[in-house]
Structure 1
């Protein structure tokens, strides 16, 4: 595996990335919270794109993987800035953006920021507005008080060590919500969601489908698929969704 390259952003953060040259549109993979660009889906799609001769970009947000900063210092807005910086500096022309979990929220924020660049979008267990509708909505009075007194709360995870959720992440997330205002996605979109996902509910997926507007939008529910959505059949479904939004499915 080749060493990651580094992009320094205007905010002074150093983002590790892998970019494969090829024909457009460029596929950009946006990972989930505390995930990194060496995850199964990111690496698989990179290899798949290379085999097709198609351009591909994967990177680590600040505080993730090989990039600079601490996870606990970051927030949705910082990672949105990272995404805009990486896409602007490292890609040209049309994009197919694939967002997983928190990366689905980032894909939607990117679509609002630069809709003219999008040729299509695929999300996998998209988690828009989760800091408000997931974390804050489920916090007890004691946890909400701890955000003010300690500055963070610690939450268990089914997949890794506990998440440290900071007051900054909650407050910043409120400035990045996408399910409260019009969300127009004027390009082909495929939302993929597993019914056995314990981190993002099918209700969230249906809410996103019903809220967003666009000319070509579909939600695929996959029975018994979990949040990872990374076994062989699920990876094939992601490939098919990418082909569909490119008009080649």
Structure 2
């Protein structure tokens, strides 16, 4: 009886060991680390772009940069909702600061543009667009339109070739010039280097015409034209030279 048990025991042990080995399973590999969503990464990029633009125009972006750092930390967890909220907050604050800067610039250009006269239909349309953008709070768009318009007005020049029978009075009254003969002193000012006596001009002379003179120059020119006296060669020459000297340093 003892021998029988002795023979069976190794078999039982072997089977037990085999069963134990069969039930052992390998541990599953750890799940891959979670990554922030594409929307989160884009929100952080947008915030950094807005901050860079705001910094270029002199905004203090210290708090916005801190928010972006917090957003990046949350993105690593990842806590997408919190990260996006922080990034959006930083972007909005940076955009608002930059927009205030551009609105100030646009309003300054608008004030300068209001000094100019004789705007054509295209220039008036640009002016309306710029005003509308300011009223809508679109600072950069308003500045882009108004700064371009201001540069255009400042540079607007043309030439007029004198023909027989011309004088500054009738040239100024032409539709292609000022449409007002009383503005002839503007032509005199613009061509002082070649016109010694405004009562005396010559055929084929090329006269420079400032297309958009400023209002103050127009007022001064019209006042002088109305008080100068008769159009007779040499009779008002000393007055002409005195008026011309009084205009030095002022814009046309």
Q: Same fold (TM over 0.5)?
A: no
TM-score, normalising length: structure 1: 0.22
Instruction: Report the TM-score when normalising by structure 2.
Output: 0.22
Larger radius of gyration: 2
Greater helix share, 1 or 2? 2
**Higher share of residues assigned strand:** 1
Higher relative contact order (CA 8 A, sep 6+): 1
